[in-house]
Amino acid sequence: MFAFGSGVLLGQRTDIANSTPVNFGLVQEVHLDLQFTAKELYGQYQFPVAIARGKGKATGKAKMAQISGLAFNNLFFGASMTTGQFATAFGEAGTVPASSAYTVTVTNSGAWQDDYGVVFAATGLPLTKVASGPAAGQYSVAAGVYTFNSGDASKAVLISYTYTVTGTGQQFTLGNPLLGVTPTFQAQLYTSFQGKPVNVKLFNCVSTKLSYATKLEDFVIPELDFDIFANAAGNVLQWSFAEVS
């Protein structure tokens, strides 16, 4: 039989009860690697007369195109998901009033969190942030209200900041847990070609690395590395084939 394509990879946490299964999401490729150490027994000849397996190691790697907070959390972080978002407004347009008060209130001032700079729209040059009483080319900010100097009256500016969104999306915050706190999951890899499926069940997994890299003119493809180990019944993996061959 033959196999084709990246398949489907599903996961479910095993360290908590009634966890929600998740799809890794549009997997681009999955790698499973199994290897053993070997111990050779030598006599007076050049080649060993016996070889025995030693320790075994099973690892996996998945690249997925779909960005899922639930999958990231369940398969790697093990934190608590909450409703809401921490959003970014980049280069929001505003104009310093022609007369006092020389302030610009950003659109999301009621949920404003952090300032990430102001630039002049005409030149792209940044203004300098000060605590209060800004001079020309400077600004101060409090609770989403940006204050400028009269010397910059009528000038267009671009403001970047973060703000919170309630009621939509989801988020989690990674704390600093004690050493040894480890979310675990089981996984199911499924592929099918010409009506003949191949299934691999991984009974216990621990994520060891999550990579999230962006690139110009390309999709973000997060990558998750994980180690595979035995469950309480002593099972590591189950490999199922549609053909007897």
CA-nearest of 236, 200, 243, 195 to 8 is 200
Distance CA 104, CA 172 (A): 31
Provide the strand spans (E) within 42-135. Answer: 50-64, 82-95, 103-105, 112-120, 128-129
Question: What's the pLDDT tens digit per position in 173-206?
Answer: 999 999 999 999 999 999 999 999 999 999 999 9
Is residue 94 located within the same domain as residue 150? Answer: yes
Q: 144 lies in a domain? A: yes
Question: What's the pLDDT tens digit per position in 211-235?
Answer: 999 999 999 999 999 999 999 999 9
State the average pLDDT over residues 44-70. Answer: 96
Is residue 73 located within the same domain as residue 99? Answer: no
What domain range is 110 assigned to?
84-168
Q: What is the pLDDT of residue 37?
A: 97
Residue 26 has pLDDT above 90, yes or no: yes
State the average pLDDT over residues 10-16. Answer: 94
212 touches 219 (CB < 8 A):
no
Longest pairwise C-alpha distance within the chain? 97
End-to-end CA separation in angstroms for the chain = 8
Residue 101 has pLDDT above 90, yes or no: yes
Calculate the average pLDDT of the chain: 95
Q: What is the pLDDT of residue 245?
A: 81
Among 168, 190, 216, residue at a domain's last position: 168
Q: What is the pLDDT of residue 103?
A: 97
Structure-block tokens of residue 99? 């007369």
Is residue 77 located within the same domain as residue 177? Answer: yes
Residue 93 has pLDDT above 90, yes or no: yes
Residue 62 has pLDDT above 90, yes or no: yes
pTM across the whole model: 0.86
CA-nearest of 137, 69, 78 to 102 is 137
Residue 157 has pLDDT above 90, yes or no: yes
Q: 2 lies in a domain? A: no
Among 138, 168, 198, residue at a domain's last position: 168
Domains in the chain: how many in total? 2
CATH number at residue 13: 2.30.110
Q: Which stretches within 24-103 are classed as H helix?
A: 69-72
